[in-house]
Chain A
Amino acid sequence: MSNRDELLRIEGIRKTFPGVVALDGVDFDLRRGEVHVLLGENGAGKSTLIKMLSGAYHPDEGRVLVDGEEVRIRGAQDAERLGIATIYQEFNLVPDLTVAENIFLGRQPRRLGMIDRKRMEADAEVLLKRVGVSVSPRARVRELGIARLQMVEIAKALSLNARVLVMDEPTAVLTSEEVDKLFAIVRQLREDGVGIVFITHHLEEIAALGDRVTVIRDGKSVGQVPATTAEDELVRLMVGRSIEQQYPRQQPEKGAALLTVEGLTRDGVFHDVGFEVHAGEVVGIAGLVGAGRTEVVRAVFGADPYDKGAVKVAGAAVRRGDVNAAMAAGIGLVPEDRKGQGLVLDASVEENLGLVTLRTATRAGLVDLKGQHAAAERIAGQLGVRMAGLGQHVRTLSGGNQQKVVIGKWLLADTKVLILDEPTRGIDVGAKVEIYQLINELTAAGAAVLMISSDLPEVLGMSDRVLVMAQGRIAGELAAGEATQDAVMALAVSNPTNEKTGTEASRGH
């Protein structure tokens, strides 16, 4: 108890929501200068736990001690006073304010009642240098990429003199290069004596960065182990069983070309992008964040317009910039931003599953609600969506189950070409494997799958072919056999305007 290095202790925390016990008897502690990893499947209760620390939720039972004293964290102000800073997956930044304003939001240095812009920007500059990011304090946050946003969040936490830094899946949206940079910063903070609560689904990061691991399963803390524990053991603790194969790709017979993209160009965004996806095939698109991958697939789906080129499904051209034409041709898109673009969060599972088929289930203006219900029931069962019932709001589902709902609505529409944009981001190991199985079933049934992913092992493990994009162009194509992490990265950082050297360089590895 009287450990002088102990910053934070949580004892027997319990928290319930309507119909759900989110946390039940969770213990956790954090020492000065350590990285304590919180591990658990999505829906296990990790996010709920850290929201107790930031004051967003209040525990029903149990106690929280900071420096050995029991505290009640009622809101963000309390957390700030106690030196607890949290960086969520969804950043808390105001897009139209500058970096410096965001860092000091609500605490801007003032002189004579006016904001002292000069001092604020100078202070911000120092903080930004400390986290090692080259961005102007005067830049607008809207203009920054996702990795830089995260660095700004960290700088903000540093400006609060945080002694406890909670990071909720900070690596989920970063490329491996950016991850390395983040790790360097986290290690530096650890040297400085900050205690870090680190949530991740990437098991290899635990050994690389962590000191101790607390595993949470179904709202209970099931064990605390050193970070050197073998990955298999961690997975067993996390899911309560062992997972045989992480990437269970089964390659069926390749059929005719289903999706053909030719010379697709939107000025300044992507150029001359062309590829084919055959029936029964999974084609992965790898590349750094900002390489134009999402933009290309959105254009293919008709969600955004393009300037030149053509999209064909089974040889027939699809009208540009028309989602409905793409859908009629059999294309479906599972978007990158699951909550913002994939789901109606406050609608039920049934309504979300029926969204794509709403039109076809309509006769003379009337929706066949019974049919929709039956279809939703069937597909939810097939996908194994864990829920209280079809009437549950999808907002309260875990990330993995939400993603199953998004995929499920396309399955109901008999989609022939399914585009998956970061399908497993923020999803736990168990649910990931279920989604991979689903991809297998789809391709076995003759569908074509185009998958964007920033998770390199995933791209390599699940794709039959890998396209690598860099700077809005296709930098190269690798068959499953020749695709290695090094080969993909070499292409991803290449300059594809002089394509030849790029490809050759990759071959050299």
Chain B
Amino acid sequence: MATDTLKSTTGAGGATGGLRRLLLDNGALTALIVLVIALSALSGDFLTTDNLLNVGVQAAVTAVLAFGVTFVIVSAGIDLSVGSVAALSATVLAWSATSHGVPVVLAVVLSVATGLVAGLVNGFLIAYGKLPPFIATLAMLSVARGLSLVISEGSPIPFPDSVSHLGDTLGGWLPVPVLVMVVMGLLAAFVLGRTYIGRSMYAIGGNEEAARLSGLRVKKQKLAIYAFSGLFAAVAGIVLAARLSSAQPQAADGYELDAIAAVVIGGASLAGGTGKASGTLIGALILAVLRNGLNLLNVSAFWQQVVIGVVIALAVLLDTLRRKAGATPVAAGTGGNRSKQAGTYALAAVVTVALVGATSFLHNGSSSSTTPKMGLSLSTLNNPFFVQIRSGAQAEAKKLGVDLTVTDAQNDASQQANQLQNFTSSSLGAIIVNPVDSDAASNSVKAADKADIPVIAVDRGVNKAAVDALVASDNVKGGELAAKTIGEKLGGKGKIVILQGQAGTSAARERAAGFAAGLKAYPGIQVVAQQPADFDRTKGLDVMSNLLQAHPDVQGVIAANDEMALGAIKALGSKAGKSVQVVGFDGTPDGLKAVEGGTLYASVAQQPSQLGRIAVDNALKALEGKKVEETVKVPVKVVTKQNVAGFTG
């Protein structure tokens, strides 16, 4: 284009003009600032040093993963495997150091090498095997997750203490994960901006053919790019596991999508050629600030997901609009330009007001200072059992006049750690935790203990940290009861299959142990298959259908929860309750209905709403300084068609 070019708009504006330019140039930064202002206005607990450091810690893992993904996205690729590779690297570290006595330094090297190799395999498949990046890394997502389960045999492995310090603070206040995030961010910025490989990423992402014809060794570069991504994933995995003091084979599940979201919110294009480390950091911070703020505001766990989705879309929309506004002429027509800028401001204002309005609407805590406050962190709300725990707890809280905040960790130990940290920093009177993993919750519980906040565990215990009380059903006993029920029903003889719970959870392990112990009394019962179906109804259906192909003659099924049992019943069709007897676990409303209908022979019923109720009772006692029992056992009982009518959860 020929003439009338102008370099910059900031003339007389000075410092404010510079700031305005910075904000207009970076929609994500504007969004972050809007969010911070909105949350500070809504919650007094938000803008404190402690809480901001919490946000940093909570952003760290996503940010480090996202820095690695930035390399890939800038070069017009995609890496879906980073979450799994992070889990695999952490598992390798814990497995070699803890289980095999490899020196810790060597174990760390081994773990980083694992990430590197996973990245190299991705890069090789993409550059030389010509697989689309989406497919190659999707395959690695599955392989790495599977390998971490294989190595750990499905159970979390304790992390060596020396590495666990990575999850602590430096000098008593600076959390190491934040430090790692900053260092990796600087490293990423340095690689992208100054190194040969970094500059190549932009060229390859912008126009691969032009890069090749300019002599860039595109294939070798791609190998290196994915190796970098794997390396960053390994570091993220180590940080994640250090925070939890345990390597979880199921950790970082779905984090690749958070990482990609962070990169895109930060202004990168999935088409490649653009993206910056600073933008990615802002993207990761936006996600962390949101989760933290919504926890503090006591927004319902279900609405949180809606809000997060809306904010991701808004942040990217703001950035797109900003670019369009930036694309308007600046040389002349100053009037038009100003109105466009005003438009951007107006949009930002509308977004802020909408956000503040929506969150304060969803935020249901009219918190007068006299009512005792408590937090309940549930492992998941994607399962009726835990929903019943919540209802029991909420009903009791209402009765006792307690202000109860409920969060949903979505079966992610690290997300639970964040939520517990948020509870601690907003100085609640008491915390009730339903751990995703008993080992992984220990650090967070220790922190709460340190802050003199009573902690009650519900349904699952916490290892290596003191809780004031554990309110739980007896899973091992329940498992034995389930075995006994099926043994008696089949007359001590027959072939059965066992559907196990999600590998790595204590409930799955304990119930499996109970089944095994109970079946010892029935040598005539033959277990022809044991397969995990992850406590999930759909998976229960699939796994059972598959097992029926191999063993059409089974006579009994023990499922480690009702959801899987109901899935199995679907798979069995008309056989259920007639030629095949199914025993479930939990006594959920759906399960009990099936017992009533005769398709489910029996369910070992826990009393989830009782668990919730008793947990809140005990928490209040502890809060008021009264003495509480160390373990409160809530009885389980076998519910069959005979006694189902009288049973209430």
Interface residues of A (CB under 8 A from B): 16-22, 43-45, 60, 218-219, 301, 303, 323-324, 327, 333, 335, 340-347, 351, 354-356, 358-359, 362, 365-367, 369, 386, 388-389, 396-398, 409
| Known pairs A341-B207, A344-B203 / 17 extra A-B pairs, C-beta < 8 Å | A16-B329, A18-B326, A21-B4, A21-B329, A60-B333, A219-B3, A323-B215, A340-B209, A342-B213, A344-B211, A345-B206, A351-B199, A355-B211, A358-B214, A359-B216, A362-B195, A409-B214
Q: With a CB–CB cut-off of 8 A, which chain B residues contact A351?
A: 199, 202-203
Q: When chains A and B are docked, how far (Å) is the Cα of A62 from the Cα of B333? A: 14
Q: With a CB–CB cut-off of 8 A, which chain A residues contact B3?
A: 20-21, 218-219
CB contact under 8 A between A356 and B215, given known A16-B332, A21-B329, A347-B273: yes
Q: With a CB–CB cut-off of 8 A, which chain A residues contact B447?
A: none
- Whose C-beta in chain A lies nearest to the C-beta of B218? A323
CB contact under 8 A between A323 and B211, given known A21-B3, A218-B3, A359-B196: no
- Whose C-beta in chain B lies nearest to the C-beta of A15? B329
Q: When chains A and B are docked, how far (Å) is the Cα of A356 from the Cα of B328? A: 33
Top 10 nearest A-B pairs (CB, nearest first) are A16-B329, A344-B206, A388-B5, A21-B4, A362-B196, A355-B214, A20-B1, A344-B207, A327-B215, A19-B5
How near does chain B come to A345, taking the closest CB pair, in angstroms?
7
- CB-based contact A341/B209 at 8 Å: yes
- CB-based contact B332/A346 at 8 Å: no
Q: With a CB–CB cut-off of 8 A, which chain B residues contact A301?
A: 213
How near does chain A come to B318, taking the closest CB pair, in angstroms?
19
Q: When chains A and B are docked, how far (Å) is the Cα of A317 from the Cα of B455? A: 77
- CB-based contact A341/B216 at 8 Å: no
- CB-based contact B195/A18 at 8 Å: no
B327 at the interface (CB under 8 A from A): yes
CB contact under 8 A between A18 and B210, given known A347-B202, A396-B1: no
One of B4, B207, B211, B332 near A340 (C-beta < 8 A): B207
- Whose C-beta in chain A lies nearest to the C-beta of B212? A323
CB contact under 8 A between A17 and B1, given known A303-B212, A343-B210: yes
24 examples of A-B residue contacts, CB within 8 angstroms = A16-B331, A16-B333, A17-B327, A17-B329, A18-B328, A19-B6, A19-B7, A21-B332, A43-B2, A341-B209, A341-B213, A342-B210, A343-B207, A344-B202, A344-B207, A351-B203, A355-B210, A355-B216, A358-B196, A359-B215, A359-B216, A365-B197, A367-B198, A389-B5
Main secondary structure of the interface of B (DSSP, over half): loop
- CB-based contact A20/B2 at 8 Å: yes
Q: With a CB–CB cut-off of 8 A, which chain B residues contact A323?
A: 212-213, 215
Q: With a CB–CB cut-off of 8 A, which chain A residues contact B214?
A: 355-356, 358, 409
Q: With a CB–CB cut-off of 8 A, which chain B residues contact A398?
A: 1-2
How near does chain B come to A321, taking the closest CB pair, in angstroms?
12
Q: With a CB–CB cut-off of 8 A, which chain B residues contact A343?
A: 207, 210
Q: When chains A and B are docked, how far (Å) is the Cα of A397 from the Cα of B211? A: 19
How near does chain A come to B58, taking the closest CB pair, in angstroms?
33
One of B2, B6, B195, B209 near A367 (C-beta < 8 A): B195
- Whose C-beta in chain B lies nearest to the C-beta of A45? B2
Q: With a CB–CB cut-off of 8 A, which chain A residues contact B209?
A: 340-341
Q: When chains A and B are docked, how far (Å) is the Cα of A323 from the Cα of B220? A: 14
One of B1, B200, B206, B336 near A346 (C-beta < 8 A): B206
One of A335, A369, A389 near B194 (C-beta < 8 A): A369
Q: Within residues 170 to 216 of chain B, which ones have a CB less than 8 A from any CB in chain A?
A: 194-200, 202-203, 206-207, 209-216
- CB-based contact B207/A345 at 8 Å: yes
- CB-based contact A303/B196 at 8 Å: no
- Whose C-beta in chain A lies nearest to the C-beta of B196? A362
B506 at the interface (CB under 8 A from A): no
Q: When chains A and B are docked, how far (Å) is the Cα of A45 from the Cα of B1? A: 8
B330 at the interface (CB under 8 A from A): yes
- CB-based contact B2/A365 at 8 Å: no
Q: When chains A and B are docked, how far (Å) is the Cα of A44 from the Cα of B241? A: 61
- Whose C-beta in chain A lies nearest to the C-beta of B8? A19
Q: When chains A and B are docked, how far (Å) is the Cα of A342 from the Cα of B212? A: 10
Q: When chains A and B are docked, how far (Å) is the Cα of A301 from the Cα of B211? A: 14
How near does chain B come to A18, taking the closest CB pair, in angstroms?
5
B578 at the interface (CB under 8 A from A): no
Q: With a CB–CB cut-off of 8 A, which chain A residues contact B197?
A: 365
Q: With a CB–CB cut-off of 8 A, which chain A residues contact B213?
A: 301, 303, 323, 333, 335, 341-342
How near does chain B come to A155, taking the closest CB pair, in angstroms?
30
B377 at the interface (CB under 8 A from A): no
B217 at the interface (CB under 8 A from A): yes
- Whose C-beta in chain A lies nearest to the C-beta of B198? A367
How near does chain A come to B405, taking the closest CB pair, in angstroms?
46
Q: When chains A and B are docked, how far (Å) is the Cα of A45 from the Cα of B5? A: 15
B274 at the interface (CB under 8 A from A): yes
How near does chain B come to A235, taking the closest CB pair, in angstroms?
17
- CB-based contact B331/A355 at 8 Å: no
- Whose C-beta in chain A lies nearest to the C-beta of B193? A369
One of B2, B196, B206, B329 near A386 (C-beta < 8 A): B2
- Whose C-beta in chain A lies nearest to the C-beta of B5? A388
Among B194, B196, B213, residue most surrounded by chain A Cβ atoms (within 10 Å): B213
CB contact under 8 A between A367 and B326, given known A340-B209, A346-B206, A347-B273: no
Q: With a CB–CB cut-off of 8 A, which chain A residues contact B333?
A: 16, 60
Among B210, B212, B328, B336, residue most surrounded by chain A Cβ atoms (within 10 Å): B210
Q: When chains A and B are docked, how far (Å) is the Cα of A345 from the Cα of B206? A: 7
- CB-based contact A324/B196 at 8 Å: no
Q: With a CB–CB cut-off of 8 A, which chain A residues contact B203?
A: 344, 347, 351, 355, 358
How near does chain A come to B385, taking the closest CB pair, in angstroms?
49
How near does chain B come to A14, taking the closest CB pair, in angstroms?
9
Q: With a CB–CB cut-off of 8 A, which chain A residues contact B273?
A: 344, 346-347
- CB-based contact A397/B210 at 8 Å: no
Q: Within residues 1 to 42 of chain B, which ones have a CB less than 8 A from any CB in chain A?
A: 1-7
How near does chain A come to B302, taking the closest CB pair, in angstroms?
40
- Whose C-beta in chain B lies nearest to the C-beta of A18? B327
- CB-based contact B216/A21 at 8 Å: no
Q: With a CB–CB cut-off of 8 A, which chain B residues contact A60?
A: 329, 333, 336
How near does chain A come to B217, taking the closest CB pair, in angstroms?
7
Q: With a CB–CB cut-off of 8 A, which chain A residues contact B7?
A: 19, 388-389
Among A16, A219, A362, residue most surrounded by chain B Cβ atoms (within 10 Å): A16
Q: When chains A and B are docked, how far (Å) is the Cα of A232 from the Cα of B331? A: 34
How near does chain B come to A455, taking the closest CB pair, in angstroms?
23
Q: When chains A and B are docked, how far (Å) is the Cα of A301 from the Cα of B215? A: 10
Q: With a CB–CB cut-off of 8 A, which chain B residues contact A347?
A: 202-203, 206, 273
Q: When chains A and B are docked, how far (Å) is the Cα of A346 from the Cα of B6? A: 19
Q: With a CB–CB cut-off of 8 A, which chain A residues contact B6?
A: 19, 388
- Whose C-beta in chain B lies nearest to the C-beta of A406? B210
* 1/0 contact string of B378-414 vs chain A (CB within 8 Å): 0000000000000000000000000000000000000
Among B274, B329, B333, residue most surrounded by chain A Cβ atoms (within 10 Å): B329
Among B216, B217, B326, residue most surrounded by chain A Cβ atoms (within 10 Å): B216
- Whose C-beta in chain A lies nearest to the C-beta of B200? A358
Q: When chains A and B are docked, how far (Å) is the Cα of A22 from the Cα of B328? A: 12
- Whose C-beta in chain A lies nearest to the C-beta of B194? A366
Q: When chains A and B are docked, how far (Å) is the Cα of A441 from the Cα of B327? A: 39
- Whose C-beta in chain B lies nearest to the C-beta of A363? B196
How near does chain A come to B576, taking the closest CB pair, in angstroms?
44
Q: When chains A and B are docked, how far (Å) is the Cα of A45 from the Cα of B2? A: 9
- CB-based contact B195/A22 at 8 Å: no
- CB-based contact B329/A346 at 8 Å: no
- CB-based contact A18/B330 at 8 Å: yes
Q: With a CB–CB cut-off of 8 A, which chain B residues contact A340?
A: 207, 209-210
- CB-based contact B1/A365 at 8 Å: no
How near does chain B come to A434, taking the closest CB pair, in angstroms?
15
Q: Within residues 324 to 351 of chain B, which ones have a CB less than 8 A from any CB in chain A?
A: 326-333, 336
How near does chain A come to B175, taking the closest CB pair, in angstroms?
31
Q: When chains A and B are docked, how far (Å) is the Cα of A324 from the Cα of B220? A: 13
* 1/0 contact string of B268-294 vs chain A (CB within 8 Å): 000001100000000000000000000
Q: When chains A and B are docked, how far (Å) is the Cα of A389 from the Cα of B5? A: 9
Q: With a CB–CB cut-off of 8 A, which chain B residues contact A388?
A: 5-7
Q: When chains A and B are docked, how far (Å) is the Cα of A490 from the Cα of B217? A: 42
